């Protein structure tokens, strides 16, 4: 088992075109949460090499910004083709880094293919508006221009998809990219990056339009503080966002943050319970609770709470937990020991606050794999939305709360610091509409009769409050990677001033 994991990762790296001579050198350890074993070591970037990567990306930008956008799109089209071709290879790396099932790992690579296709189309649609000027013989319009070097800092749980949302759009918009992947997911990062490098070469474009830098916190800080990096797009914890945002703002850089979520679903008495059940189980227990969109709170109408909770506990008991490479497994391990400790601490606190653990929470397979942290997803009935429920614990814990009036359900729903994703299960159209209205969900994503996770790339992705306010991926998220110029052109031969002002 041990050798085969290393071997399959090695051949996937080779298939993606990673230079494997760098493996087994350096201090960065690549540990897979599947078994807890260390697969390879990798060399970390130095302060000098990060500086050089930024310099080269900046140099490349000066040329890349003048390449016509649809031609820039060709690189991203080619990247998408290669990702499609190497879907299984890259998924094996994602699986090794993030311990996802193959279906979920392939889904992550599919998200990359999807955003590439979206970005290729976008490369012909970097639209600016034309507005009627108040002055005769004048044209008023806006044009969009690239920002420069974009620093992408990504998290372990979606190790390559979120990078691709940023990079596919950033590149078609005329920016260059320096990427610092999570130190927990370096192998899939190398794979995704090698495929992009191949696409750049195939299209005859300069290699320096994208760089990957490997390392720990200091590497991230260096990118955050470098004035040549025009935009920092960072995904991770709210704690990380609290550090990044003021530092970038202090140098008047731009930031795009996708931070913690505390996503809830309301289950109304009219809901199709079977559908709701399936939606909740996938969103709450899928990916072992390690999505930023994972459902962490369930707000059930008191009239159906007992019945629905019972069904849910039963469904949880059928979930197969284990090595995500094995057929039929739905829940893999937590990323590391600290994640496990955090989960245990949250469960202890929840109990101290009057919570009742209805199922799960225990570690399994500890004897066979002492360095891997498999847990049973937990359901905890809470008497109120206590301090623990307000926190995001990056593990599969679903807190159950009940409500009597719909207004109270909305209050409970919005009464957390985070605002990423949300859902309502209902057959009552008025409730659904209210949930989506200004007095409904305060999140960046609000769904009806579908869970909180598993968003498509076509919509803008991100959230409010402590989630950081950024929007990535679809819709008009491309605008975050560009600057807007307002242009007034005077072809009148006169010089009339706006607002009728007279001067000279």
Active site members? 258, 292
The region of 20-28, 131-139, 171-179, 286-294 touching ligand UN1 under the rule CB under 6 A is 286-294
- CB nearer ligand UN1, residue 146 or residue 241: 241
**Positions in 346-405 near ligand UN1 (CB under 6 A):** none
Q: Which is nearer to ligand UN1, 454 or 468 (CB)?
A: 454
Out of 30, 175, 235, 268, the residue judged to bind ligand UN1 by CB under 6 A? 235
* Angle at alpha carbon of residue 442, lines to 436 and 448, rounded to 5°: 35
- Shortest gap between Cβ of 292 and ligand UN1 (angstroms)? 4
Q: Which is nearer to ligand UN1, 56 or 465 (CB)?
A: 465
Q: Does 167 bind ligand UN1 (CB under 6 A)?
A: no
CB of 211 closer than 8 Å to CB of 57: yes
CB of 453 to ligand UN1, least distance (A): 4
* Residue 467 touching ligand UN1 (CB under 6 A): no
Alpha helices (H) along 123-257: 161-172, 186-202, 217-225, 238-250
H/E stretch holding 486:
strand 482-490
For ligand UN1, how many residues bind (rule: CB under 6 A)? 11
Cβ proximity to ligand UN1, 174 vs 454, nearer residue? 454
Kindly state the smallest distance separating residue 96's Cβ from ligand UN1, in Å: 18
Is residue 157 at the binding interface for ligand UN1, with CB under 6 A as the rule? yes
- Asked if 164 interacts with ligand UN1 (CB under 6 A), we say no
Q: Is the dihedral of CA 333, 338, 343, 347 positive or negative?
A: positive
> Rule CB under 6 A: is residue 455 a binding residue for ligand UN1?
yes
Considering the complex, what minimum distance in angstroms separates the CB of residue 111 from ligand UN1? 6
Of 15 and 397, the one with the shorter C-beta distance to ligand UN1 is 397
Question: At closest approach, how far in Å is the CB of 488 from ligand UN1?
Answer: 41
CB of 329 to ligand UN1, least distance (A): 19
The yes or no reply on residue 233 touching ligand UN1 (CB under 6 A) is no
DSSP structure class, residue 353: T
Asked if 156 interacts with ligand UN1 (CB under 6 A), we say no
Q: Which stretch binds ligand UN1 (CB under 6 A): 117-125, 184-192, 390-398, 450-458?
A: 450-458
Residue 232, beta-bridge partner list: 151, 255
- 344 near 353, Cβ under 8 Å? no
Which uninterrupted H or E stretch holds 258? Answer: strand 254-258
State the alpha helices, DSSP H only, in 353-445: 387-390, 406-414, 429-436
Which range binds ligand UN1 by CB under 6 A, 83-91, 368-376, 397-405, 448-456? Answer: 448-456
Task: Give the three-class secondary structure for 336.
Answer: coil
The stretch among 44-52, 129-137, 290-298, 363-371 that binds ligand UN1 (CB under 6 A) is: 290-298
Shortest CB 196 distance to ligand UN1, Å = 19
**Residue 158 touches ligand UN1, criterion: CB under 6 A:** yes
Examine residue 454 and tell whether it contacts ligand UN1 (CB under 6 A): yes
Judge whether 256 and 464 are in contact, CB under 8 Å: no
Residue 157 CB, nearest distance to ligand UN1 (Å)? 5
Phi, psi (5° rounding) for residue 354? Answer: 95, 5
205 binds ligand UN1 (CB under 6 A): no
- Candidate segments 82-90, 288-296, 394-402, 486-494, binder of ligand UN1 by CB under 6 A: 288-296
Q: Which of 453, 465, 468, 471 binds ligand UN1 (CB under 6 A)?
A: 453
Closest CA to 393 of 350, 354, 342: 342
- How many angstroms separate the Cα of 44 from the Cα of each of 49, 55, 91, 157, 222? 9, 18, 24, 21, 14
In terms of Cβ atoms closer than 10 Å to its own Cβ (0-12, 13-18, 19+), residue 371 is middle
Q: Kindly state whether residue 291 participates in binding ligand UN1, applying the rule CB under 6 A.
A: yes
Secondary structure of the chain: what % helix, strand, coil (to 5)?
45, 20, 35
Tell me how long the chain is: 504
Q: CA 133 to CA 498: how far, in whole Å?
A: 9
Closest to 209 in 3D by CA, of 172, 171, 173, 179: 171
Binding site for ligand UN1 (CB under 6 A): 111, 157-158, 162, 235, 291-293, 453-455
């Amino acid at each position: 088992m041990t050798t085969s994991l290393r071997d399959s990762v090695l051949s996937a790296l080779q298939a993606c075109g990673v230079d494997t001579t760098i493996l087994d050198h350096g201090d960065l350890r690549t540990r897979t949460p599947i078994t807890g074993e260390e697969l390879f070591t990798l060399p970390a970037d130095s302060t000098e090499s990060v500086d050089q990567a930024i310099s080269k990306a900046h140099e490349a930008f000066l040329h890349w910004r003048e390449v016509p956008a649809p031609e820039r799109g060709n690189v991203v089209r080619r990247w998408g083709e290669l990702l499609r071709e190497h879907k299984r290879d890259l998924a094996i790396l994602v699986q090794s880094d993030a311990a996802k099932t193959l279906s979920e790992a392939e889904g992550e690579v599919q998200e990359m293919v999807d955003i590439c296709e979206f970005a290729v189309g976008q490369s012909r649609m970097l639209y600016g508006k034309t507005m009627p000027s108040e002055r005769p013989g004048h044209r008023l319009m806006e044009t969009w221009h690239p920002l420069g070097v974009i620093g992408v800092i990504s998290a372990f749980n979606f190790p390559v998809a979120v990078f691709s949302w940023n990079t596919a759009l950033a590149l078609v918009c005329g920016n260059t990219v320096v990427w610092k992947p999570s130190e927990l997911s370096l192998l899939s990062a190398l794979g995704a990056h090698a495929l992009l490098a191949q696409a750049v070469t195939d299209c005859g474009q300069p290699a320096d339009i994208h760089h990957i830098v490997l390392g720990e916190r200091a590497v991230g800080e260096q990118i955050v503080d470098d004035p040549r990096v025009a935009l920092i797009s960072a995904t991770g914890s709210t704690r990380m966002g609290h550090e990044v945002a003021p530092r970038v703002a202090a140098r008047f850089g731009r930031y795009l943050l996708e931070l913690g979520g505390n996503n809830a679903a309301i289950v109304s008495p009219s809901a199709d319970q079977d559908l709701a059940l399936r939606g909740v189980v996938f969103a709450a227990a899928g990916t072992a609770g390690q999505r930023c969109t994972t459902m962490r709170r369930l707000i059930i109408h008191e009239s159906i709470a007992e019945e629905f909770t019972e069904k849910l506990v039963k469904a949880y008991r059928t979930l197969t937990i284990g090595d995500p490479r094995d057929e039929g497994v739905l829940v893999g391990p937590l990323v590391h020991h600290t994640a496990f400790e955090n989960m245990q601490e949250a469960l202890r606190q929840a109990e101290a606050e009057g919570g009742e653990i209805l199922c799960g929470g225990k570690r399994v397979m500890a004897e066979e794999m002492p360095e891997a942290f498999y847990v049973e997803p937990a359901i905890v009935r809470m008497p109120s939305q206590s301090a623990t429920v307000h926190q995001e614990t990056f593990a599969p814990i679903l807190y159950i709360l009940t409500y009597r009036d719909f207004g109270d359900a909305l209050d409970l729903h919005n009464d957390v610091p985070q605002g990423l994703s949300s859902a309502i299960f209902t057959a009552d159209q008025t409730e659904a509409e209210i949930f989506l209205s200004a007095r409904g969900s305060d999140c960046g994503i609000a769904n009806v009769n579908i869970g909180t996770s598993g968003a498509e790339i076509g919509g803008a992705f991100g959230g409010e409050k402590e989630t950081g306010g950024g929007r990535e991926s679809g819709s008009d998220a491309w605008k975050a990677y560009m600057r807007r110029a307002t242009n007034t052109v005077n072809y009148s031969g006169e010089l009339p001033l706006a607002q009728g002002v007279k001067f000279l």
